[in-house]
Amino acid sequence: MAGDVTALFQASTAHSPSIAMLERAGSGGGGGGGGGQSGRITDFCIPCNPYFPTPAMFERLGGRLKEILTYYPSGAETITAELCRTLGLNPQTVAMGNGSTELITWIDHLLVRESLAVPVPTFGRWTDQPMETGKRVDMMLLPEAHGFRLDPDAFVRFIRARRSRTAVICNPNNPDGGLLTKEQVLALCDTLQDLDLVVVDESFLEFSDDAAATSVVEEAVLRPHVIVLRSLGKNFGLHGVRFGYLVANPALAGRVRSMLPKWNLNSFAEAVVFLLREHRQEYDESLRRARRDRQEMLARLSLLPGLTVYPSQGNFVYVRLPLGVDGAVLRDRLLAEHRILVRECGNKVGSSSRFLRLVVRPPHEVRELVAALERVLYGGPVRPASGPGEGGPQDLRLVPSSLPAPAAAPVPAAVPVVGPMAMARGYTSSGTAAVDRLVSG
């Protein structure tokens, strides 16, 4: 069974395999420990809203399942108009896509010329997509020593030095959850007004403590070179529906909109969008609960010895594992023994296998995660650390299991720029040495 898990992660190098793939492979059918029984996977990998839609909304959608699956959806302009009425946006400034990834693809094809600059680590499509179309991707490494915080002035200097024509920032950033203020983002956009394009990816901003005061959606429509990208699947807890949108100056938004297929949005997306207006209160409450859960999760994880937990304004938490622990092996054991799926970041440019991104989940599931980490890392419950990353063993090995536990892979040395060839080399295998050793061994 461990080999099946490893093969799935090897085949899905840029992103984690889907829950459907893992469940079809039967990757959790038993194992040691209290959580190894068969059952559904507890997902700390895919970042979405655990509290929305509500059970009543799911029941309502379920009652319309035959109708939704049988008939064509309305055209994208109809669905976009309804979304804009709900969100208070001008439809001329909006383009909706089949997930934010479709919009990233069209942004690249239509608006990105020879080069794009982006801080890393970040969402993989911002590095992968332009490279797939032959663009130069200039990657500025976010410094681990500074908690992966983006310095806007340093990013501007990097762009000028590389002569990049497009700039992208994710706010908050994925995987670390770092957030710039509205003033910082607008200053960056205006400083870079000579570029072809500046993209502000706000896919996770709704989960931040003060999203309304941080978003630059209203300001973007006044700037001819700025696009703001928003995800709906993540915010609404519906990744499978595949819908997202961008906001920009009418000319810019119209250019993207003109290239999209008439029926690029499916009937599920239409049904959800037309439900939203009457469920805004439940949606807002779901975000408040997710924010509270994030604070509790940060506090609980910070008590584990040797674990470094970074502040986050996303609905995920970025952690550095204790020295000597290989994240790929830990990931496989959590899945095999405890039915818990985590995002190991060894195949994310600018990160390594020593880092995990853990999605914010309800408190009872976080307690299960912490108990599983304690069992696999320390052999059982541990005394709280005196602070984040302190008070515990600093050179750990995973507690023995029936699964093979190879030696930890070395952490790559930090470099100021990650070039395209380095990225290409990372995709010739699984992207993590530990997974490759499991496959070959």
* Each residue's pLDDT tens digit, 56-73: 999 999 999 999 999 999
Q: 29 or 136, which is more confident?
A: 136
pTM of the complete model: 0.85
pLDDT beyond 50 at 33? no
* Each residue's pLDDT tens digit, 241-263: 999 999 999 999 999 999 999 89
pLDDT beyond 50 at 437? no
Q: At what angle do helices 76-87 and 267-276 cross, to 10 degrees?
A: 20
Let me know: does 215 contact 205? Beta carbons within 8 Å.
yes
CA 84 to chain CA mean position, Å: 25
For the segment 75-86, the average pLDDT, to the nearest whole number, is: 96
Instruction: Give me 58's structure tokens.
Output: 């799911």
Q: Give the span between the Cα atoms of 317 and 308, in whole angstroms.
A: 10
Q: Give the span between the Cα atoms of 278 and 274, in whole angstroms.
A: 9
**What backbone torsions phi and psi does residue 366 show, to the nearest 5 degrees?**
-65, -40
H or E, element range at 139: strand 136-141
Beta-sheet strands, E only, within 146-274: 166-170, 197-201, 226-231, 244-248
Question: What is the per-residue pLDDT for 401?
Answer: 59
